[in-house]
Amino acid sequence: MREFDLIDWIRSQTRLDPRAVPVGPGDDCAVVRVGGEDLLVTVDQVLDGVHVQLAACGPQAVGRKAMARNLSDIAAMAGTPLAAVANVALPRDFPDDDAKAIYLGLRAGGDAFRCPLVGGDIGVWDGALCVGVTVLGRPTPAGPVLRSGARPGDALCVTGALGGSWRSGRDLTFTPRIHEALALAAACELHAMIDLSDGLSRDLGHVCRESGVGAEILATRVPVHPDAGGLDAALSDGEDYELLFALPPGRADALERDGVLGVPVTRVGTITAERNVTLVHPDGSREPLIPHGWEHGT
Amino acid sequence: MREFDLIDWIRSQTRLDPRAVPVGPGDDCAVVRVGGEDLLVTVDQVLDGVHVQLAACGPQAVGRKAMARNLSDIAAMAGTPLAAVANVALPRDFPDDDAKAIYLGLRAGGDAFRCPLVGGDIGVWDGALCVGVTVLGRPTPAGPVLRSGARPGDALCVTGALGGSWRSGRDLTFTPRIHEALALAAACELHAMIDLSDGLSRDLGHVCRESGVGAEILATRVPVHPDAGGLDAALSDGEDYELLFALPPGRADALERDGVLGVPVTRVGTITAERNVTLVHPDGSREPLIPHGWEHGT
């Protein structure tokens, strides 16, 4: 069973009281009511050999990435991080200084966004390094930006450039788009947003499925990162941690012109009522945009 | 470096704004301010080969224990659970039904205390099973019960009976003392509380250190579980998930007589101003109560 099939099954089993849990599994964060407030909650883990290669990148980069991945999920809801906790499984005989470096990496990742590490659990075992992080956050006063709000006719935009993240090491050094997401939420009406962790093709599929819509992506408009091998990599590589968002089309031109906080914004396509996700080539030919991005479970 | 030394180092590195984070690392839960409310946050992981033996107990018991350990930490603050998230690292080729059973175990553990599983992260790797759980909770209106509030002269009480949990499998089937903690908090002024996960000797040491006090434990008063080999096991085994708490001595007799919600309460000793933790034998001889309970990091 693949990761996403298991998540679908879990969602099918989940019955939540929407007054207590307005958003459950299946978005970038869950939303839980605390007193009169909405609280964002997200959890993500970094596993040695899957999401990182500890021997190559070192322990501090592992800690930083574990925190930054979660902060990217907070950004995807246009949230402000509040606090984090971590569970760390250390290999037996892990050097003390390396354990401390993991903590310092977590701290560095969080401190950059005023997200303190407020607690944790440390275990030692015969297995490899596993770092799980949970981040709490607060949505904007307008509420969290979900995956499910995209509407036909919306412009689809991305921040930054895509592809080649893993090969070039950008997956270890990326800046979660917390500030950019807040600026976007303040500047325009965001209908839907997601962070690009699984690759544009797959993450766009998530947005379309949750919103009950489709999309057309213009091949020439996809911002291909210099580190990427080409368009396919930009569509599929994943670990970009850029934002993909849908908004009323009237605002897209100004965003493309101005970017957001110095980060380029590119309109890559349009949300359609027809539910297919299609890639449109310069010669007018069309092909289904099949998700074949990063799935850790495969 | 042992787990507790690393935690001490982390605490020494931690600088938190007490208005935003009233309680940071070092108690059963952290406390974070959300809007005008205090929120409890706790994280604990279950590692195959350390906290569970998957091949012996099966996947559902692993999920249940991962949830219940965290709920026990919420109980230790006299909190009410609100929601949980989980990060699960599955061994490659883990059977689908076993993955579902972990989820069902998590759900069973949480549903018993109205603690919904609102999100998670699933990864697949070449390593063994790791289940991390974060639980959010709300303190009583009087505020969270910390480890640091014990005062000289306080009675020290425990719920239930201690020792032999791991050998008998009670570590997999225990009921987190959520309801009992709430009843105790309503019935009396709890100065300090902790759940007995590391063993009475070690966990009492945590309370005394955080409170700046000592304690005398009467050997004959320690409630030894029938599964335990004897007093030493009751003092050291850990994984009891009972409550140890300090309260004004005037209330202890009534609690001993009545128990709490059908669970026995035993007064095992007294908090002292002198900082040593001492075991007093029936013949009046005294010995230091050295923590040698469960430390997963050793």
- The answer to whether B100 contacts A6, with C-beta atoms less than 8 Å apart, is yes
- Local confidence band at A297 (pLDDT 50, 70, 90 cut-offs): very low
Distance CA B53, CA B240 (A): 17
The C-alpha of B44 sits at a distance from chain A's nearest C-alpha, in angstroms, of 5
- Local confidence band at A1 (pLDDT 50, 70, 90 cut-offs): low
Number of other CB atoms surrounding residue A96 within 10 Å: 12
- The answer to whether B21 contacts A116, with C-beta atoms less than 8 Å apart, is yes
- Residue B183 in tokens: 């009843």
Q: Which element (helix H / strand E) includes B100?
A: helix B96-111
Q: Provide φ and ψ at B7, rounded to 5°.
A: -65, -40
Taking contacts as CB-CB distances below 8 angstroms, the residues of chain A near B9 are: 100
For the segment A251-280, what is each residue's pLDDT rounded down to a tens digit?
Answer: 999 999 999 999 999 999 999 999 999 999
- The answer to whether B118 contacts A21, with C-beta atoms less than 8 Å apart, is yes
Of B44, B99, B119, the CB nearest to A1: B99
List Cβ neighbours of A270 (8 Å cut-off, separation of 6 or more): A153, A154, A155, A156, A215, A216, A249
- Residue B151 in tokens: 């005062």
Q: How far, CA to CA in Å, does A48 sit from each of A103, A240, A259, B179?
A: 16, 19, 35, 39
- Residue A239 in tokens: 């670990």
Q: Which amino acid is at B193?
A: M
Q: Provide φ and ψ at B139, rounded to 5°.
A: -75, 165
Q: Which amino acid is at B102?
A: I
Q: Render the burial of B92-114: b for 16+ CB within 10 Å, e for the rest.
A: eebeeebbbbbbbbbbebbebbe
Of B20, B43, B121, the CB nearest to A120: B43
Distance CA B116, CA B98 (A): 20
| A77 SS3 class | coil
* pTM of this structure: 0.96
For the segment A151-190, what is each residue's pLDDT rounded down to a tens digit?
Answer: 999 999 999 999 999 999 999 999 999 999 999 999 999 9
pLDDT of residue B298: 34
Taking contacts as CB-CB distances below 8 angstroms, the residues of chain B near A139 are: none
- The answer to whether A30 contacts B123, with C-beta atoms less than 8 Å apart, is no
- Residue A81 in tokens: 């991080």
- Most A CBs within 10 A among B5, B9, B10, B111, hence the mutation to make, goes to B10
Average pLDDT over residues A41-52: 97
The C-alpha of B10 sits at a distance from chain A's nearest C-alpha, in angstroms, of 8
The C-alpha angle with vertex A125 and arms to A124 and A131, in degrees rounded to 5, equals 65
Q: Render the burial of A284-294: b for 16+ CB within 10 Å, e for the rest.
A: eeeeebebebb
List Cβ neighbours of B220 (8 Å cut-off, separation of 6 or more): B282
Quick one: closest CA in B to A107, which residue?
B14
List Cβ neighbours of A168 (8 Å cut-off, separation of 6 or more): A225, A227
Quick one: closest CA in B to A21, which residue?
B118
- Local confidence band at B293 (pLDDT 50, 70, 90 cut-offs): low
- The answer to whether B87 contacts A44, with C-beta atoms less than 8 Å apart, is yes
Query: In whole numbers, what is the pLDDT of chain B averaged over residues?
Result: 95
pLDDT of residue A293: 53
Quote the percentage of chain A above a pLDDT of 90: 92
- The answer to whether A45 contacts B123, with C-beta atoms less than 8 Å apart, is yes
The C-alpha of A196 sits at a distance from chain B's nearest C-alpha, in angstroms, of 16
Average pLDDT over residues A187-196: 97
Q: Which amino acid is at A100?
A: K
- The answer to whether A130 contacts B126, with C-beta atoms less than 8 Å apart, is no
The closest alpha carbon to B93, from A298, A239, A59, belongs to A298
DSSP of A210-246: HHT-EEEEEGGGS-B-TTSSSHHHHHH------EEEE
The C-alpha of B85 sits at a distance from chain A's nearest C-alpha, in angstroms, of 7
- Residue B289 in tokens: 């109560």
Residue B4 in this model has a pLDDT that exceeds 90? no
Distance CA A28, CA A210 (A): 12
Distance CA A86, CA A198 (A): 22
Taking contacts as CB-CB distances below 8 angstroms, the residues of chain B near A30 are: 83, 85, 118-119
Average pLDDT over residues B5-24: 92
pLDDT of residue A267: 98
- In the block, tokens 């035993």 appear at B266
Quick one: closest CA in B to A135, which residue?
B134
- Number of A–B residue contacts, CB under 8 Å: 215
pLDDT of residue A296: 47
pLDDT of residue A141: 87
Distance CA A112, CA A135 (A): 14
Residue A110 in this model has a pLDDT that exceeds 80? yes
Of B21, B83, B117, the CB nearest to A118: B21
Of B43, B86, B120, the CB nearest to A121: B43
Strand order in the sheet with A214-218: A192-195, A243-247, A155-159, A265-272, A214-218, A277-280, A286-288
Residue B57 in this model has a pLDDT that exceeds 50? yes
Q: How far, CA to CA in Å, does B223 sit from each of B183, B196, B216, B219, B266?
A: 21, 13, 15, 9, 7
- The answer to whether B34 contacts A34, with C-beta atoms less than 8 Å apart, is yes
The closest alpha carbon to B131, from A248, A172, A163, A123, belongs to A123
Taking contacts as CB-CB distances below 8 angstroms, the residues of chain B near A118 are: 16, 21, 24-25, 30, 32, 41
Taking contacts as CB-CB distances below 8 angstroms, the residues of chain B near A123 are: 3, 45, 47, 50-51, 296-297
